Structure 1
């Protein structure tokens, strides 16, 4: 953590033209860091020139010695002659109000300059007997002392206003902004809350109660921290048409069974997976202004919430007397020190699927959050689907160049393991035909492959999802971006040879009568099914679309473009197709959509 700011630092800051715009922000954040006022008005930035008071606060408890209890009016200045500014503002407020209006109200003047004669000025104004409940001055020395009690605000002023490079602690609000703005458009706070209303209420209730330790677990530690921040910044998005429905996942399909609407392909629309996002950088999709709507009382909690990055900083902030919300992001923090000092401790974790993790984001509500952040419906729907599947993958896809690292599984032996499986896209490990197809693609048996994949379905930023023995890539497009370098010409040849047979396999039950189907279901062997599961067929159809529409005219190993590879598969699948073949692929045609990317297909 950086050294403490001094009154001299604040004097130097006051020489900057923008200090006048940001002093109200500083005072507002300091107030919220020590109290939860009933009302708080403190216009900042371009609003500083508006007529009227610089600030009004109502705080039943106050926060001595800086924030008076009850109602107070505030005037602020950064000029070199604080006494002249204070006198002019004081006279204006006295002349513009009645004695009855001033009764019970404290007048506060804040200057970012040193003012040695401040107390004499207060004494003279008190002798004037203008009817104020009190008169106070907060100068640069007082602000420096106030900042020392508020590490998050201190860090904000030091780093963002003074250009220092503090380490070890950052305000939760500022951490979220840095995290969110690594993508374009930035991640709106409400997105983190989509379909997680119960968890939001639980977190807020516990932060308002007696200080305790609580764990927030999700697919990654960063997502857990972002959820905590968003819970204090925004309200969960709502969609009147769906909020009354039961929000639960459908079971993943069995081979030959029903399709899972949340499955590998259904959650991935490929028509517009590439191309620049619509929202411009200036939209600051932070959307903190657009997506907020959390109760005003939460802002005080947010201002006192700190992300602590190392043990040294932890020991320092844990000793603060003002109660805070501490979010450690390093291993083995001394939790007891924080709790004994009266701080809440929130532990962000990357949990396994079996842990009590945050529920997956709700697709439709995630779409609403993106729409509120300024995206059009189609792009919002695409991003909502992708966020539900893997927020980390979506962030990589829309990340600013150089800001987000490639995942660890995209390098070395792991990439070589995953790349040929990427061509399958999804599969069922209890369907023999699928295992044979995988062996054709990987040139190795399933038992060895499954052993190596066991660590890639859980933990932070896992590339694979495994449910009910159905495997799928969390985000096929993101996986293609990360793994295509590990593909060989032989891998692609194997896919091109295998795909038409898998995609065009006839359904042996299609010609049966209802009576015959029922008899088959009741028999020991069951109704006749395809050798390959619908999971694999959907997965390989997705691969064909990615090759044709996403990879497109980019050349792959072997000197053939992605579109050429996909076109060859579709031509072999549909060229001179008879009625039986068209019937066999009917369920895949809406997914393949060859006319959108294949100019030589039938």
Structure 2
């Protein structure tokens, strides 16, 4: 198709001053459209065309007709636009002949001169230069006539050039930019490429690959035919620079048969068919052809359906058009994420109206919004909305709409849904009669008042409500759909000039919601509406407020059961309906007019909130609404502060907690909540949050908190904790108010506050320089207050040293902290001992949080052993010695006095001053060695036994006989768990006999206390015990396997199922007899099935469970060694197992478990195909459907849990199916294996379809 002729080129070159810089762009586009094999390409255009050097350089390998214009191999290019092309050519020739430039080998390079002027004698000039002795490989002249012919071969490139330079384009063909600009201009503001690409990242990349490399017809389906072409244009225009220019130069939109036939002989093109041209894509199918199809096409199955984006994806894209974020979100909801519907919503002129706009058959679908036809209750509800005699009649009337190019309905599986409810409302609302409104009111009341039967279940069973058939009869689709319809009526009805029985749509919706049975009296109705409450609140806030306020009257106990996130419920699958209520109130609170009422209800809910496992709490919702730096509400800061004042007055405790939650923090977080779908809620008048407003709001919050703190020391502790996050001016305000309040406090309150203030000051001084710490000049007034209220008793001032392991001590480096802490503790205890004696020390230990630290210091500073013993024996206020103090003192005294201290304890015990229980406490932290063991044994067998029963095994550094003796003592004391817990890493040092004893004893202990296994991760630590046993030569494989078998139900989950050292697995692959025995423990013989089971003992049931665990985890291949398998050994094992199983009347199930075991074999190392060739050979020999079935079941089960992005759909399953089908092509020599692999592939393909449907349902729900 000829877009440009030689005369136009000549005129253009003579009249346009930019012709010299534009010509390189045309030549570059022609080259890109003509050749794909390009090694080097440099053609500066625009301003860059004026730089020195060659006008163009190219290394390429053209084909066919393009050889006329593009030389083979290396070429250099010059051009001129002057009316005397010969003069410019001669000048360039002379200059370049003498100085070709660096790296140019003239003998291997072609000289090309290009001019848009017609040069009749160009061939004569070329012949003359060659005759004179040209240094160049060849000479080419491309004048206006040649350019015209070249442009005709490259219509996409010439179309682009014609458009950019003002030449009139021909009919029925557009380049990609022309089409895009026409399409985008139908929107106001103009559409951006981002909107077409939203949510279609993977499809965009796939289309780029198709356009760049593929041939043939490629069908795409969108909401309209032009949307598909717009998507193609957006993909090309958004590609990388090199891809974009390459594809723009080649791609044409073809709109007629004539254009298609004219372009048929043009190579290297890409076609997007439009209008009449769609029917003639086949004429061009030797190249890449994009064909858009409609919903009525017979080629649906072969088409790629363009994904509709999620709401947030489309709204973000709409923002690139210059649309405000809140409006973009509403547009995305309103158009149902459809670009075609968006074209009607924001049309630049009168938009084309849908063909279905006058159909009353759509009214029941609009009123229902969505439904699941697998639900009989849904079908009955939709039928009630329609007036049709049967649901089949209704469905038949709706199915015709699915084939329309701009279908108003869509289906995914059993779900029907209105595609864009707002769009449908605009176009069918005028057809809705009073009868329809009555039907909606009655149906909505019935659907929305249904009580969720899962609310009747105990907390621990609610996650299994579906299994117990405790579910709503109406689907979530219908409940959400009707709620959406009510919201559209309420929010957009007036705008659409809709009247219902002479009144406003808002009045209709308000009355409908108010009339929902049980809404005001039964919390279960609110709880059952949890998922719909945010939309219902946006639609009709006043009736919901009235209902909630009624339920909260008095003590609010009527509504309290809505909090159901208890510790008893399943943490993974549980839910609590209060979350939907909180989101609804957050939606309401975004509207300044509704904020006071929503906040008051949230405060009442906070008062009855019992707490739970979810972070969604009423107080957190209040915080989100009023958060100073990111308030959820659209109210101004003055109005927010006024509402907070009201809350504080009406709900003092909740108000105080809210103020604390609003105080600034060094690291703070906010939450994203549900936004109104359609209502403005004050967003258009939202106050711009400036630093000045933020600081003013924070100051007001701080001032109110200070006022409410009054003289309450507990409240001031909370205020002081926020001090480091405040602005300096606010800190001064707090400190001044604090100083005044302290002076008014009772002495007892001052003493309590002193401890907290002392910790505060000490922490800030210890971490001086940290971002959150107060500077010294601001700490100074607090230190003055601290000094004024400090207790006269110096001992109280030192108690902080005995509070935690590492107290805050200003001026001490971290590496010296432990040493300095111990020094200070000793100094304090020594002073107290000197001033007040042992009794005073004991009293001091009772006053501190951790008496053991006092005891440890006392054992080191007591004047002598007698003094320390007096402290150990002394009684505190409870009339008994503090065991923590005494034990710590005895530990450090032993370090200090050695065996003399032990002798003194013995003497005191002998005089009856110590009980045996105290004795055990006093040696709790002595070294865990033979001296301690023998010393305590000297007090008798009971003392020795009690020692080994209570002393943990940590700290045993003994080896050899001492180590064995310690193990013996623990086992004798029936404490094998101590050994496993502390010594599992030394299992290799434990003798075989003690390892077996350890297993015996722990088995008994576990029977008494099953929780022992999970305490201290003993299931993991037990693995080390068995690994040690597996490596021993002084016991048989059968014995070790026997112990593994006994422990199997407890530990198999924490072990690797393919552990090559497992004695049990090694024994199984050596003994098909054992395998069949295990099968017999679990499954009855075929002849015994159906017999009564009452005579089965608990021991037999336990054995069956153990055996089943073994069978399900058996993965070692008989004859296997890594990736290799001995086929003879495998065959012998399988045949013997089959023979024995047949004799035991258990052949079928045994073969299934043989198959499950075989599925774990690695691929064959030679051909890399699974299963291994030895197994393939076996399948052909054994000819067992049950073995093959077992392999398939095992392979499916071995996949386990998958992780995928929410919108991935069945990608993983399709990849698995594709790999299996590829492998099936490689195993033609094993027909049974081939059929098995194809069957597995089909299973994954069906799974992929289910996952795709799940994603489509998720998209549909948007």
Bigger Rg, structure 1 or 2: 2
Aligned to 2:140: 136
How far did 1:424 drift? 2.0
Distance 1:448 1:161, change over 3 A: farther
**Is 1:196 matched with 2:203?**
yes
Using the alignment, how far apart are the partners of 2:24 and 2:418 within structure 1?
Answer: 49
TM-score normalised by structure 2 residue count: 0.37
**Is 1:448 matched with 2:393?**
yes
Residue in structure 2 matching 1:304, options 250, 271, 291: 250
Using the alignment, how far apart are the partners of 1:20 and 1:482 within structure 2?
Answer: 55
Residue in structure 2 matching 1:431, options 348, 369, 375: 375
Aligned to 1:185: 191
What are the residue-to-residue correspondences of 1:489-528 with 2, within 5 Å? Answer: 491-492=436-437, 494-495=439-440, 498-513=443-458, 527-528=469-470
How far did 1:24 drift? 3.3
Residue in structure 2 matching 1:111, options 109, 112, 115: 115
Deviation sequence 1:451-482 (CA, Å, 0-9, x none): 11112224533221112321112223333344
How far did 1:217 drift? 4.7
Aligned to 2:304: 358
Aligned to 2:35: 35
Aligned to 1:59: 60
How far did 1:597 drift? 6.5
Whether the 8 Å CA contact 1:542–1:591 is kept in 2: the answer is yes
How far did 1:29 drift? 2.3
Paired residue secondary structure (1:137) = strand
Deviation sequence 1:122-155 (CA, Å, 0-9, x none): 5666678785444433221111111222233344
Deviation sequence 1:336-380 (CA, Å, 0-9, x none): 7545xx545454433579613325527479669949968898888
Paired residue secondary structure (1:40) = strand
Aligned to 1:147: 151
How far did 1:18 drift? 5.6
Distance 1:344 1:119, change over 3 A: same
Deviation sequence 1:423-448 (CA, Å, 0-9, x none): 32112234344344334433334332
> Which has more strand, going by share of residues?
1
Residue in structure 2 matching 1:74, options 74, 77, 84: 77
Using the alignment, how far apart are the partners of 2:508 and 2:78 within structure 1?
Answer: 70
**Is 1:101 matched with 2:104?**
yes
Using the alignment, how far apart are the partners of 1:298 and 1:359 within structure 2?
Answer: 24
Distance 1:358 1:502, change over 3 A: same
Whether the 8 Å CA contact 2:271–2:289 is kept in 1: the answer is yes
Using the alignment, how far apart are the partners of 2:345 and 2:99 within structure 1?
Answer: 57
How far did 1:576 drift? 4.3
Deviation sequence 1:518-565 (CA, Å, 0-9, x none): 99867xxx7254343211111122223333445565532356555555
How far did 1:47 drift? 5.1
Using the alignment, how far apart are the partners of 1:50 and 1:193 within structure 2?
Answer: 41
Whether the 8 Å CA contact 1:318–1:343 is kept in 2: the answer is no
Distance 1:165 1:97, change over 3 A: closer
Paired residue secondary structure (2:456) = coil
Aligned to 2:411: 466
Aligned to 1:538: 480
Aligned to 1:318: 264
Distance 1:531 1:109, change over 3 A: same
Distance 1:379 1:506, change over 3 A: same
Aligned to 1:392: 340
Using the alignment, how far apart are the partners of 1:369 and 1:106 within structure 2?
Answer: 52
Aligned to 2:1098: none
Whether the 8 Å CA contact 1:11–1:140 is kept in 2: the answer is yes
How far did 1:498 drift? 4.5
Whether the 8 Å CA contact 1:58–1:72 is kept in 2: the answer is yes
Aligned to 1:457: 402
Matched pairs, number: 530
Distance 1:204 1:326, change over 3 A: closer
Whether the 8 Å CA contact 2:281–2:291 is kept in 1: the answer is no
Paired residue secondary structure (1:170) = strand
Using the alignment, how far apart are the partners of 1:101 and 1:368 within structure 2?
Answer: 54
Paired residue secondary structure (2:455) = coil
Whether the 8 Å CA contact 1:496–1:568 is kept in 2: the answer is no
Paired residue secondary structure (1:510) = helix
Using the alignment, how far apart are the partners of 1:64 and 1:121 within structure 2?
Answer: 20
Using the alignment, how far apart are the partners of 2:313 and 2:90 within structure 1?
Answer: 52
Aligned to 1:246: none
Using the alignment, how far apart are the partners of 1:24 and 1:565 within structure 2?
Answer: 68
Larger displacement relative to structure 2 (502-511 or 156-165): 156-165
Whether the 8 Å CA contact 2:451–2:525 is kept in 1: the answer is yes
Aligned to 1:25: 25
**Is 1:480 matched with 2:425?**
yes
Using the alignment, how far apart are the partners of 1:201 and 1:153 within structure 2?
Answer: 18
Using the alignment, how far apart are the partners of 1:77 and 1:182 within structure 2?
Answer: 41
Deviation sequence 1:487-531 (CA, Å, 0-9, x none): 456545654564354334322332233698799867xxx725434
Using the alignment, how far apart are the partners of 1:66 and 1:497 within structure 2?
Answer: 77
Using the alignment, how far apart are the partners of 1:570 and 1:90 within structure 2?
Answer: 88
Whether the 8 Å CA contact 2:260–2:277 is kept in 1: the answer is no
Whether the 8 Å CA contact 1:554–1:562 is kept in 2: the answer is no
TM-score normalised by structure 1 residue count: 0.72
Using the alignment, how far apart are the partners of 1:221 and 1:451 within structure 2?
Answer: 26
Distance 1:343 1:510, change over 3 A: same
Deviation sequence 1:151-193 (CA, Å, 0-9, x none): 3334444556445252223335644554455443323464484
Residue in structure 2 matching 1:293, options 229, 235, 240: 240
How far did 1:34 drift? 1.5
Paired residue secondary structure (2:26) = helix
Whether the 8 Å CA contact 1:13–1:162 is kept in 2: the answer is no
Distance 1:395 1:144, change over 3 A: same
Compute the RMSD of aligned alpha carbons. Answer: 4.5
Using the alignment, how far apart are the partners of 2:51 and 2:520 within structure 1?
Answer: 75
Paired residue secondary structure (1:454) = helix
Whether the 8 Å CA contact 1:59–1:71 is kept in 2: the answer is yes
Using the alignment, how far apart are the partners of 1:584 and 1:362 within structure 2?
Answer: 31
Using the alignment, how far apart are the partners of 1:55 and 1:492 within structure 2?
Answer: 73
Larger displacement relative to structure 2 (495-504 or 140-149): 495-504
How far did 1:303 drift? 3.0
Aligned to 1:253: none
Whether the 8 Å CA contact 1:326–1:345 is kept in 2: the answer is yes
Using the alignment, how far apart are the partners of 2:95 and 2:482 within structure 1?
Answer: 75
Whether the 8 Å CA contact 1:305–1:325 is kept in 2: the answer is yes
Whether the 8 Å CA contact 2:455–2:462 is kept in 1: the answer is no
Aligned to 2:750: none
Using the alignment, how far apart are the partners of 2:85 and 2:220 within structure 1?
Answer: 47
Where relative contact order (Cα < 8 A, 6+ residues apart) is larger, the structure is 1
Distance 1:334 1:292, change over 3 A: closer
Using the alignment, how far apart are the partners of 2:246 and 2:218 within structure 1?
Answer: 19
Using the alignment, how far apart are the partners of 2:173 and 2:384 within structure 1?
Answer: 52
